[in-house]
Copies of this chain bind each other. A is one copy, B any other.
């Protein structure tokens, strides 16, 4: 056997309550070999397609496949090139074609093994084949564990913009083995930490302390659990991003502009980190110069020297929004743990930077 199934491994369960669409986030260290038995509790169909990328396949495809086969599944795999470029409509249709060719049925399952790209792409495949078949997310990047694998946003990019084709579709299970982070490249690690800083500011409690005073790596399972739980609680209240869920966009208004400005060469989480710093500075001004030094100090601990001209970024945002609206809904900070959504006119928004 490639991976030992250890009966002693603790499975932490975070429930995401969404009525008929409810599911568990199962969190553990070293439990990858247990995916098969978890799946047995949830689905009837006996066919599984694992979608993964070439980087992740090297380490985790074989053990995952074995776990599923031992649990009685007929397992097929599709390994895609690593990177955002795979998140496109033609790769999407190729995967759909594979399911059709294998005669997958409504009770069968797609397992997304990898980071955000794999999760979004395979998730959209599962969301639309036969109007939706079972989806299991097995995130292997920090960003996917704490953010993209939870909440049901799936899709692919179009030439006109990121995530322009997609759906809201909840998985049957999110299975997080934090030990899979041991092989994560440094740049992907930083990518996740950027998004982690968002949770630290939203939460203000233990997550802030871990990121400010301690090591994320030394508290890894707890860190992932707290972030995942934070997101789950928000998604429960607002599945389709009509209201509260917009809080999760803290740092993203400027973050998206920074990504765009970098021609999407800067990783998402890094862009969010810069976005957080800028919105903290703006939040201070918006609230009559309140003191957000502690919060800004936290961000600076993670190297946040913004490589772009701020005025230019702000223009980019207002130009983008013009077609849609004459105002901007952005998330601001009163203090760590106390964030809020505020609508500003373009003029008011510009003045803050």
B-binding residues in A (CB < 8 A): 20, 89, 93, 96-97, 100-101, 103, 105, 107, 127-132, 153, 155, 158-161, 163-168, 240, 323-324
Contacts and interface: CB of A to CB of B under 8 A. Distances in A.
A165 B129 contact: yes
A167 B128 contact: yes
A180 to B, nearest CB: 28
A164 B129 contact: yes
Q: Which 9 A-B pairs have the closest CB atoms?
A: A100-B160, A131-B166, A100-B158, A105-B324, A89-B93, A128-B165, A131-B167, A128-B167, A131-B168
Given A105-B324, A107-B324, A131-B155, 10 more contacts: A89-B93, A96-B158, A97-B158, A103-B160, A128-B167, A129-B164, A129-B165, A130-B166, A131-B163, A132-B167
Given A166-B131, A167-B131, A168-B131, A161 B100 contact: yes
A131 B124 CA distance: 10
A167 to B, nearest CB: 6
Given A131-B153, A131-B155, A165 B89 contact: no
Contacts of A158: 96-97, 100
A164 B324 contact: no
Contacts of A164: 96, 100, 129-130
Nearest to A45: B324
B101 A160 contact: yes
A159 B100 contact: yes
Given A100-B159, A153-B131, A105 B323 contact: yes
A239 to B, nearest CB: 10
Q: Which of A101, A131, A323 has the most CB of B within 10 A?
A: A131
30 contacts: A89-B93, A89-B96, A93-B93, A96-B158, A96-B164, A96-B165, A97-B158, A100-B158, A100-B159, A100-B160, A100-B164, A103-B160, A103-B323, A105-B323, A105-B324, A107-B324, A127-B167, A128-B155, A128-B165, A129-B164, A129-B165, A130-B164, A130-B166, A131-B153, A131-B163, A131-B166, A131-B167, A131-B168, A132-B167, A167-B167
A210 B99 CA distance: 44
Contacts of A105: 323-324
Nearest to A97: B158
Nearest to A241: B131
A41 to B, nearest CB: 19
Contacts of A161: 100
A217 B199 CA distance: 62
Contacts of A93: 89, 93
Contact of A166 (B128, B153, B155): B128
A69 B328 CA distance: 28
Contact of A128 (B103, B128, B160): B128
A330 to B, nearest CB: 17
A195 to B, nearest CB: 20
Contacts of A324: 105, 107
Contacts of A153: 131
Contacts of A159: 100
Contacts of A160: 100-101, 103
Contacts of A163: 131
Nearest to A152: B131
